[in-house]
Amino acid sequence: MELTTAELMANAHAQGLAVPAFNIPYLPMMEPVIRAVIDEDVFALIETARLEWYKFEAQGPAQVAAAFARHQDPDYVRLHLDHIPVVDEDNCRVDYLPIIRQALDLGYQSVMIDGSRLPLAENIAVTRQVVELAHAAGVPCEAELGAVLGHEAGPLPPYEELFATGRGFTDIEEARLFVRETGCDWLSVAVGNIHGAVTGVLRDQKKVEARLHLDRIRALHQATEVPLVLHGGSGVRRSDLLQAIPLGITKINIGTEIRQAYEQALRRSQSVAAAQDACYRRTRWLLHDYLALGGTRRRLLSGS
């Protein structure tokens, strides 16, 4: 019997393993990313965020679902709806419920609501609403607490200043309350991680090497007892990332690394096939060399 996405994530959480989640801002990236996941014998999520429909060329949840359906293998990959914000990176309110409902109707196997730009009480209320909707459809719901910066227009403040001050870091007691009150299945946390820029010339720049506050990850996991999600996984210091996984980071979102590999190869060659090859090679490198996840899929399937 096929395990659900929730069960696979629970197996990863119990074993101290990570599930990589790859964002697809360009539809031709779908095939090489899934092929790399299969060739490395890893279980992964394929995901799409709202900003990728407007700032890149993923078009929308229906188009991503159709591309996924052409290449999917449920033993290796499942489809996740990433970052549906209530207030987006341009500080505009979003009509989020129709997007969530559409994704559930399309067969997305997990969804994310991002109320992180809201006051705590409103974030809890909105997240609880979406959790109930997702659970009624039989799928898990991810939420976010804290401020994972990087998608906003303009440059970030100096990274060392962000890390030293803990600006936007997820509060431990707020996280305990948030998970208890919302019933969310997975929690995206801010612990030193940052998103890759998505606007202007900044989107082509290499990300700052981010660090992770490992003690805070441990405390957040102890307080919430749910799988924690690391957004902005590209460019995080590898030693920190590998230490964070057994501390509770179960899902690692990766976008910038594979997007820039695809874009740069496409600009150089003017060939989609060459860009797909670059994306495939970068995805395999991330899975095998950076995350050291090659061959772990069977452990998730068996639960041991």
Please report, for the chain, the start and end positions of each structural domain, with discontinuous segments joined by +: 5-295
- The string of DSSP codes covering the chain is -PPPHHHHHHHHHHHT--EEEEE-SBGGGHHHHHHHHHHTT--EEEEE-HHHHHSSB---HHHHHHHHHHH--TTTEEEEEEEEESB-TTS-B--HHHHHHHHHHHT-SEEEEE-TTS-HHHHHHHHHHHHHHHHHTT--EEEEES---SSSSSPPPPHHHHHHHTTTPPPHHHHHHHHHHH--SEEEE-SS--PPP-SGGGGGSPPP-B---HHHHHHHHHHH-S-EEES--TTB-HHHHHHHHHHTEEEEEE-HHHHHHHHHHHHHH--HHHHHHHHHHHHHHIIIIIS--TT-HHHHHHT-
Is the pLDDT at 194 greater than 90? The verdict is no
Between 302 and 264, whose confidence is greater? 264
Q: What share of the chain in percent tops pLDDT 70?
A: 91
Is the pLDDT at 246 greater than 80? The verdict is yes
One of 3.40.50.970, 3.40.50.300, 3.20.20.70, 3.50.50.60 is the CATH number of 5-295, namely 3.20.20.70
Is the pLDDT at 167 greater than 50? The verdict is yes
Q: What confidence score (pLDDT) does residue 235 get?
A: 79
**Is residue 240 flagged as an active site residue?**
no
pLDDT band at 193 (very low <50, low <70, confident <90, very high): confident
Is the pLDDT at 240 greater than 90? The verdict is yes
Q: What confidence score (pLDDT) does residue 200 get?
A: 47
Range 215-241 average pLDDT:
93
Between 202 and 168, whose confidence is greater? 168
Out of 73, 75, 82, 289, the active site residue is 82
Q: What is the pLDDT of residues 257-293, one digit of tens each?
A: 999 999 999 999 999 999 999 999 999 999 999 999 9
Q: What is the pTM of this model?
A: 0.92
Q: What is the pLDDT of residues 2-51, one digit of tens each?
A: 899 999 999 999 999 999 999 999 999 999 999 999 999 999 999 999 99
Q: What confidence score (pLDDT) does residue 166 get?
A: 72
Q: What confidence score (pLDDT) does residue 155 get?
A: 63
Q: What confidence score (pLDDT) does residue 196 get?
A: 52
pLDDT, the chain, mean: 91
Q: What confidence score (pLDDT) does residue 82 get?
A: 97
